[in-house]
Amino acid sequence: MNLVELNKIANALVAPGKGILAADESSGTIKKRFDSIDVESTEDARRDYREMLFRTTEAMENHISGVILFDETIRQNAKDGTPLVKLIQDAGSIPGIKVDKGAQDLAGAPGEKITEGLDGLRARLNEYYELGARFAKWRAVIDIAGNDIPSGYSISTNAHALARYAALCQEANIVPIVEPEVLMDGDHDIDRCYEVTEFTLKTLFDELYAQDVALEGTVLKPNMVISGKKCKEQASVAEVAEMTVRCFRQSVPAALPGIVFLSGGQSDVEATAHLNAMNEQYSDQMPWGLSFSYGRALQAAPLKAWSGKAENVPAAQAAFNHRAKMNGLAQLGEWSD
Ligand code: 13P
């Protein structure tokens, strides 16, 4: 493991004014996104869509530090034969790869999930490194439902798997992004989200320590502390910012170079406003870089503008440019709507 190199990549992912584009939708998820714009999810359509994003030069060069890819995409070429990975690298951005194989039912815990994908991971990571990946992502899914979900069992098994994945990544000189996503579905209030997120993060960092993962070469991708989508009382932007930063200060070690949020179903403007409020008001209290690793909050507007038509590419790229720029400003705490 080359910790100096890992640390350099981790810091680059949270460089000032920049964050990550999560474009690693699995085949099932991208089909759902394409269904929403009435486009059939063929290999060519997926290529055209992602090529459109990666050729958005202004956004890619100035605001996108790295791009998370799906297995198909890291092997795919643009229409003119250029590898998609090269488009990302040529824009000065870092290619990354989703390596988990999705969440499955956790035995003995009805309603809870465990993320799979550890078998054979060492060999896959070595191949992804050769293909250009310098960071990876593994997402654990923690649901909140009633008083009994999540169980301590589901949190600890997911944290254990995240740490095993992270240790294997570092062995392969790939920066692990560890993503324990506490879902915002449900009617729970923001206090319940705080409690579950804090417990999850403390458990995760215990496991990373137990498995000797170097925090200097790791990035955290968490949810924000936020009200459940169906909760009657929705917390304000100021409350989300204050409680999220407080939660992280309690549970995330200072040695970690960066934290990059998932958007998790927030609207694109909400995701920008929350990130901006944290960086604007609390930058002096945060030892880590705080940025974005958004999927939906970066792609919803360009996906809609594109709608599968070549003639819409300029409009889609303008939409992607705009959101990337707004989130870049939010990383600096300089965004206003
Ligand atoms: P969203 O920002 O759409 O939640 O996606 C980010 C991601 O990579 C989830 O794993």
27-35 and 43-54 helices, crossing angle to 10°: 80
Look at residues 290, 42, 6, 267 and name the one whose alpha carbon lies nearest to residue 129.
6
Q: Which of 219, 268, 293 to mutate to test the pocket of ligand 1 (most atoms within 8 A of CB)?
A: 293
Which residue's CA is the closest to the ligand 1 atom numbered 1? 295
Q: Which residue in this structure is represented by tokens 């920049």?
A: 18
Measured distance between the N- and C-terminal CA atoms of the chain, rounded to whole angstroms = 43
Which residues' Cβ are closer than 6 Å to ligand 1?
22, 139, 179, 262-264, 294-297
Atom of ligand 1 nearest to the CA of 24: 8
Which residue's CA is the closest to the ligand 1 atom numbered 8? 22
The ipTM estimated for the assembled molecules is 0.89
Q: Which of 51, 179, 181, 198 is catalytic?
A: 179
Catalytic status, residue 195: no
The pLDDT tens digits of the residues spanning 125-170 come to 999 999 999 999 999 999 999 999 999 999 999 999 999 999 999 9
Map residue 284 onto helix, strand or coil: helix
The pLDDT tens digits of the residues spanning 278-306 come to 999 999 999 999 999 999 999 999 999 99
DSSP 127: H
DSSP 77: B
The answer, as to whether pTM is greater than 0.80, is: yes
- Between the CA of residue 123 and those of 67, 159, 165, 169, 171, what are the distances in Å? 22, 22, 12, 11, 11
225 HSE (CA, 13 A, CB side): 27
Task: Using the mean position of ligand 1's atoms as its centre, give its distance from the Cα of residue 57 in Å.
Answer: 22
Catalytic status, residue 31: no
